[in-house]
Amino acid sequence: MIRKLADSFILGMIYGAAFFSVMLLVGIIGYVFVKGFPFVHWTFLTTVTSILRGSTGIAGNLVNTFYVAVLTLVFAVPVGVGAAVWMNEYAGGGWGVRLIEFTTQTLAGMPSVIFGLFGMVFFGGTLGLGYSVLTGSLTLAVMVLPLITHNAREALRAVPDSYRIGAAGMGATKWYMIRTILLPAAMPGIVTGIILAVGRIVGESAALLLTAGSGYLLPQSGRGLLHKVLESGGTLTVQMYLSMSKARYGEAFGIGVVLLCLVLAINLCVRLIAAYTKRIF
C-alpha cells in the first residue's frame, strides 16, 4: 500500500515536470506576445529609430539579420557539407575522422562569447575587418559549422549503400556520384541543418555584440547595399539586448514578438521537412 502511494507520488512528479515544461513555453510565448503585440505595427517594422521624429523602428536590424544569416550560410554551408562528404565518403574511418569528430564536438560545445572574442581579435583585428557584418558572419559561420556538418552527415549515412554500389557499378566516378545521387538524396538533412543554423543565427547575441557591433541604420541603395557588409550592423537580438539594457522595454518586447515568430516559423519548417523525409524513405 505504501509502495503504491509512493509510486503514484513519483508518477505525479513526472507528470508535474512535463506539465511545467509545457507551461514554461506557453507562458513565455504568451507573455511576450501580450506585452509586445501593441508595439508591432507598420512603422515599427519598416523604419529605423529616429530621434527627430521620436519614433522607433527596427527595419535596419531586420535587414542586418538578413545580411548576417545569408552571409553566414554562404561561408558555412559549403564547408560544413564538404566536411560531411569527406568524413562519410572519403575518409573511411581512422584518426582523421576521429580528430574531426572531436573538433566538431568541441566547436558545438563552445560558448558563443568565446566565438565572439575569437572573431573580434581574428576577423576583426588580424584580418582588419573591424566591427562589421562580415566579421560577425565569419564568426557565426565557425559557430554553426558543427550543426551543418552533423545534419549533413546523418543524412548521408541514411542514404542506402545500394545507391553507391549501383552508381559505382554503372561506372560513375565518385564526384559524379556525390553530385548526382548522394547530395540530392541527402538534401532534406542538409536543408534541416541550414534551417537550424538560421535559428541559431537569429537567436545569437553575445558573439555578434562583440563582432558585428550595433549599427541600426538601413544600407544606402546601390553601392551601399554591398558596402553594408563592411559596416557595423546589429541584428534583432543584439538590438533587443541593447533596448533591455537601456530600459526601452516596449521596443524590446516588440522585437521579442518578431523573434518568436521567426523561431516558430523555423520550427515549423524543420517539422515539415522531417514529415516529408519520413514519407519518402
Partner 1 sequence: MQYISAERYGNSYRNAEKKRYRDRSRAELVETVAETVFTFCAFCSVLAVASITLYMVVNGTPAVFRVGLKDILFSSTWKPVAKEPSFGIFYVVLSSIAGTAMAVILGVPVALLTAVFLAEVAPKKLAATVGAAVELLAGIPSVIYGMIGMMVLNPVMYRLEQRIFARTPGHQFTGGANLLSAALVLAVMIMPTVISISETAIRAVPAHLRASSYALGASRVQTIFRVVLPAAKPGIATAVVLGVGRALGEAMAVSLVSGGSVNVPLPFRSVRFLTTALVSEMGYAGGLHRQVLFTVGLVLFVFIMLINLSLNRILKERERQDD
Residues 26-85 that bind partner 1 (CB under 8 A): 26, 28, 31-32, 35, 78-83, 85
- Chain positions 217 to 256 lying near partner 1, rule: CB under 8 A, are 237, 240-241, 244-245, 249, 252-253, 256
Whether the CA torsion 123, 126, 129, 132 is positive or negative: it is positive
For residues 27 and 13, what is the distance between their CA atoms, to the nearest angstrom?
20
What minimum distance in Å lies between the beta carbon of 156 and partner 1? Answer: 12
Q: Does 259 bind partner 1 (CB under 8 A)?
A: yes
**Residues in 188-217 at the binding interface with partner 1, rule: CB under 8 A:** 199, 202-206, 209-210
When binding is defined by CB under 8 A, the residue of 69, 178, 182, 197 that contacts partner 1 is 178
Question: Residue 281: how many CA atoms within 13 Å on its side-chain side?
Answer: 15
Q: Is 275 in the site for partner 1 (CB under 8 A)?
A: no
Nearest to 146 by CA among 212, 87, 203, 90: 87
- Closest separation in Å from C-beta 97 to partner 1: 8
Task: For helices 59-85 and 133-158, give the axis angle rounded to 10 degrees.
Answer: 40
CB of 173 or CB of 220, closer to partner 1: 173
Each residue 85-114 as x (binds partner 1 by CB under 8 A) or -, in order, gives xxx-xxx----x--xx-xxxxxx-xxxxxx
Cβ of residue 216: shortest distance to partner 1, in angstroms? 16
Least distance (Å) from partner 1 to the CB of residue 224?
A: 26
Q: Which residue has the cell 565518385?
A: 174
CA dist 253 → 20, 100, 159, 179, 262 (Å): 23, 41, 44, 45, 14
Which set of grid coordinates corresponds to residue 68?
A: 548576417
Residues 130-159 that bind partner 1 (CB under 8 A): 142, 145-146, 149
At 137, list the grid cell.
Answer: 558572419
